[in-house]
Amino acid sequence: MDKKDQYKIFIDYLLEVNAHTNLTTITDVDQIKIKHIEDSLSVLDLIKENDKVLDIGSGAGFPGIPLAIEKKIDLTLIDSVNKKVNFMNQAIEKIDLKNARAIHARAEDFAKDNREKYDVVVSRAVANMTTLSELCLPFVKVGGIFIALKGPKADEELEEAKNAIKILGGKVIDIERFDLSGNERANIVVKKIHPTNNKYPRGKNLPKTKPLK
């Protein structure tokens, strides 16, 4: 199956399921291509062939599924909402994606057996940068990267997250800014420079309710 067919089947299935299950508020095909797919692919050049990639809080499969359509990677998507996980696994099967799977899990629980196993961790539209760093950086191998796909508040979020990123073993190495059809976007790239203490991520929703200072 070629990429064009994979995208068409994926978008058609997304709209079919979205008619009865809330996966996205964007229902125009052209807007899905821009705001979901193009946005997801803005990080493609940061990912290498055969990288082990984790997408946290994947929702309807963004950015992970478009990345796996474009490049041969080993992809794991996790989400805490089971209906979204079911959708992603069905989509993966329909478009015949190899080496991809969606898992129903919270990041805090998934971290128990999957610490520092991934070359790249990506996350989009999940939480503020401080919370997101605690949920994502524990999964990144030392030398690997965490990419947060962000909007116009990226600088403000990053300023608040600087100390948390340091505590968690990361260092910001780039902020890629771009305009996406009139939408201000910024991809924050964090390199893992030393291991994350085993106490992170904290459970009981603490990364969100009591973010690291």
pLDDT digits (tens, 9 = 90+) for 60-70: 999 999 999 99
Task: Please choose, from the candidates 3, 135, 156, the residue with its C-alpha nearest in 3D space to the C-alpha of residue 58.
Answer: 135
The answer for residues whose C-beta is within 8 angstroms of residue 182's C-beta and 6 or more apart is none
pLDDT on residue 104: 97
Residue 172 backbone class (left: φ over 0; alpha: ψ -120 to 50; beta: rest):
beta
Residues of the chain with pLDDT under 70: none
pTM (2 d.p.): 0.95
Q: Which domains does the chain have, with CATH numbers?
A: 3-209 (3.40.50.150)
pLDDT on residue 8: 97
At residue 120, what is the residue type? Answer: V
Question: How many angstroms separate the CA atoms of 56 and 38, rounded?
Answer: 18
pLDDT digits (tens, 9 = 90+) for 174-188: 999 999 999 899 999
